[in-house]
Chains A and B, each alone.
Chain A
Amino acid sequence: MKVSMRINGEQVSADIDETQLLAHFLRDNLNLTGTHIGCDTSQCGACVVHLNGRAVKSCTMLAAQADGADVTTIEGVQQNDELHPVQKAFRQHHALQCGFCTPGMIMAAIDIIENTDDLDEHDVREQLEGNICRCTGYQNIIAAILSAAKEMRG
């Protein structure tokens, strides 16, 4: 079947298998391999992308379901060759070790910051429920998100 969607600001059309997941479409067809697949059970959150501005698991959605949508992946968050404030904060706060969960963490974090009023540490911990990190123990991830939130809100 034919699908068409906007990905990182560019219109993309393709002929796909109807069973193809959005995560596989991004990785295999478009070579956007920043979106990771860390589990087979929809639990880990490494595949999180934005669909019409909200964080979703691209491994738990058919590419067909995203037809007509506006999709942003980790490759699309930097602005004018400059890292996104959340990316910068992850670097500054050493919020990653192996880095496998990082794209999903950053996509989740941007949604959390943009859509939560009066963000505090408790909110961040609660809203990271859908993202699993096996290295860091989360502490620095939370510090990075709170720091980025401060910067993004001025």
Chain B
Amino acid sequence: MYPFTYHKASSIEQAQALLDVSNDSKLLAGGQTLIPTLKQHLASPGTLVDIGKIESLRFIRVEKANVVIGAATPHAQVANDKNLVQKIPALASLVGKIGDPHVRNVGTIGGSVANNDPAADYPAACLALGATIRTDKRSISADDFFTGLFETALVEQEIIVEVAFPVPALAAYEKFPNPASRYALVGVFVAQVEAGVRVAVTGAGANGVFRMTEMESALVNDWSADALEGILPSVDSLLSDLHGAADYRAHLINVMAKRAIAQTC
């Protein structure tokens, strides 16, 4: 690892003050992506500000028609939360399949969402459920939040505080994990929320997570796997690499979407 200075913050205010001290600082939450990145010499922040121990960022609460999850809440806690399992079982089940149990004991929702890995699971749930990402400065809708590969609408020194997920009438997530890395080669989250039918795809987009509006229109009239027959994304918008060519991913998106719908019927 390249050298850095480490600071532990005990409150959001303290984290803000620590971030202000240097202009090459980075937030550390669970570190399940950041630490491996540092080990591989793929990042060299001058300062790490650890927000993983801020108690006020670790919670899951029901707030009107939303379930709100604190940014530093580890995946294992989210996956097993009784309220979440009851209100949005599809989300609890998605979180229970992130990484492996050791990663889930440490990795956090805030870290996953802020990193916006194109193969991460959480972004698909955020986009399909129409979640709101609340930071120390503002609220950002998931539609505006995920802007590209590892890119988000977050500005320098902005801290995610919590993510609010609307409770859907129906929802399901299906992923086809890469057999080696277990990251999503393709993951599809389908949901019926107040805003309508939403379908989000992770693992496959050349610009990261994206919505399949053509599938959404088909499902509005007919919520069935058959309604998705033949609906494929354009291969130009998909990743193509040694793990899967674009046309293979396009096919998988259709299959995963059908399986997700079938889960809810």
Contact = CB atoms under 8 A, between A and B. Distances in A.
B138 interface: no
A19 interface: yes
6 contacts: A41-B36, A42-B32, A51-B106, A60-B31, A61-B106, A129-B100
Interface in A2-27: 18-19, 21
Given A19-B4, A42-B32, A130-B100, A64 B106 contact: no
A59 B31 CA distance: 11
A19 B3 contact: yes
A65 B27 CA distance: 13
B223 to A, nearest CB: 30
Q: Indicate the member of A1, A55, A67 with the most B CB atoms within 10 Å.
A: A55
A153 to B, nearest CB: 19
B159 to A, nearest CB: 18
A79 B48 CA distance: 38
B102 A65 contact: no
B102 A45 contact: yes
Contacts of A141: none
A112 interface: yes
B64 to A, nearest CB: 31
Given A18-B5, A129-B182, A40 B35 contact: no
Chain B, interface size category, equals: 20 to 34
Contact of A60 (B2, B6, B52, B106): B106
B101 A55 contact: yes
A70 interface: no
Interface of B: 1-6, 8, 28, 31-32, 35-36, 38-40, 48, 50, 52, 76, 99-103, 105-106, 182
A65 B182 contact: no
A108 B6 contact: no
A54 B100 contact: no
A112 B1 CA distance: 32
B105 A56 contact: yes
Contact of B102 (A41, A48, A62, A67): A48
Interface of A: 1, 18-19, 21, 40-42, 45, 48, 51, 54-57, 59-62, 64-65, 67, 108, 111-112, 127, 129-131
Nearest to A54: B105
A60 B100 contact: no
A64 B35 contact: no
A67 B52 CA distance: 12
B6 A111 contact: no
A40 to B, nearest CB: 6
Contacts of A45: 100, 102
B31 A61 contact: yes
Given A56-B102, A61-B35, 6 more contacts: A41-B36, A42-B103, A56-B106, A60-B102, A62-B35, A129-B101
Contacts of B6: 1, 18, 62, 64
Contacts of B36: 41-42, 60
Given A60-B36, A64-B50, A130 B103 contact: yes
Nearest to A112: B101
Contacts of A57: 102-103, 106
B102 to A, nearest CB: 5
A80 to B, nearest CB: 28
B1 A130 contact: no
B41 to A, nearest CB: 11
Contacts of B103: 42, 57, 60, 130
Nearest to B39: A40
Contacts of B31: 60-62, 65
A40 B41 CA distance: 12
Contacts of B5: 18
Contacts of B35: 21, 42, 60-62
A48 B101 CA distance: 11
